[in-house]
Amino acid sequence: MRLVLTLPGLVAADPLPASPALARLLAAAGPPVPEPRGLAAALAAEYGVTAPAGSDVPLAPLLAAAAGAPVDDAYWLLADPVTLVAGRDDVLLAGRVDDLSVDETAALLVTLNAHFSADGIAFVAPAPSAWFVRMAATPALLAPAPDTAAGRPLRELLPQGADAPQWRRWQNEIQMLLHAHPVTQARAAGGQAAATSVWFWGGGRAADAKPAGAVAAVAMTGGAVPAGTGPRPGATAIDARGGAGGIVTWGGDRVAVALAQATGTPARALPREPAGVLAVDVPVQVVVLPAGTADAALADAFASSAWTALLRGRVSEVTVIADGAGVAWRWSARRPGFAARVAARAAWRGPPLAPLLAAARDA
């Protein structure tokens, strides 16, 4: 079994969680592999949902389907309602607005769709805070995911590509429409986060967003199959639909939930004890812990259980995915040799975590 631990925000966390086991995992893994498109892209690769470097990972069709939209062969683009705030020198992303009511969303989308009715794009919201753009044409557009935006000025995150000038102009129009909207004014007056813009990202078509079974579910012999390359030589391809032959997802992150649904096995609630995860015997377990440092104890518990299971041979590989400063990294640790296992059991104090994360950031 291969275990994937996803730790949002770890690389930029302050303070860092006190977790000797996590440090041991990262040290055993060696230098990590960066994913400049962020945590969502790194997580999607575990399910075989990939895109060439310099292209968006097509997550929008998967998230639209997970939210209840009837996804067809059109081009779908996430259009997250977000709050932008003015910083000292630039505009920053404050966060996604995820508490809009049905009526508020309906009123906002009526305004947007009326304004863009002649531009070939339609705003769709299968759930109040799950907004998408649906269109027939495929835009030449590269739009960064919001998980890459933490602490970064907006000018570094504007859409790129041949069609980017048009989309930037549309974003400016959207900001003016939303800022003046009665829903926005009422929410601001009531102390609620207001949707002052939308964040486009994750564009693609459903045909390009299907999890690849042999890639996503990994070889029966244990090691990860590099995303986009197909099975390793000699590996046995297995079913990605979950159950006894595939991948099981734990956690409530919306990207993880959508990816799990696309494999045919809905995500499960994250247990407070890691034993509940390790007891499930499937080739791949993907655990997505809550963002932030409030659950540092939970992160340490999962890292400790993962390290112990790796030493004892209960798992063949532990992959850690973490992000910070707009980039995600992927560490993969296999079971150490006998001498290393003896030394690890004898040493109660692991290597310091901070230099390992700093080395990833500075690489």
Note whether 136 and 108 are within 8 A (CB): no
Question: pLDDT by residue (tens digit) across 204-245?
Answer: 999 999 887 533 333 222 233 333 333 323 222 334 334 334
Contacts with 91 (C-beta within 8 Å, 6 or more apart), sequence order: 84, 85, 153, 154
Give Cα 231 distance to the centre of its chain.
Answer: 23
Q: Closest Cα to residue 134, out of 150, 116, 157?
A: 116
Looking at residue 259, its pLDDT comes to 96
């920053």: which residue's tokens?
Answer: 92
Confidence band, pLDDT 50/70/90 cuts, at residue 163: very high
pLDDT digits (tens, 9 = 90+) for 35-91: 999 999 999 999 999 999 889 999 999 999 999 999 999 999 999 999 999 877 788
Q: Which residue has the tokens 């640790």?
A: 333
* Dist. CA 324–CA 59, nearest whole Å: 20
Burial class from Cβ neighbours inside 10 Å (0-12, 13-18, 19+) for residue 95 reads middle
pLDDT at 151: 73
State the pLDDT confidence band at 345, using cuts at 50, 70 and 90: low
Which pLDDT score, from 0 to 100, does residue 244 have?
33
pTM, rounded to two decimals: 0.87
* SS3 assignment, position 85: strand
- pLDDT value of residue 340: 62
On the question of pLDDT at 276 being above 70, the answer is yes
Nearest-angstrom CA–CA distance, 98 and 130? 8
Q: Per-residue DSSP letters for 218-277?
A: --TTSPPPPTTS-SPTTPPP--SS-GGGSEEEES--HHHHHHHHHHTS--BPPPSSTHHH
pLDDT, residue 230, reads 35
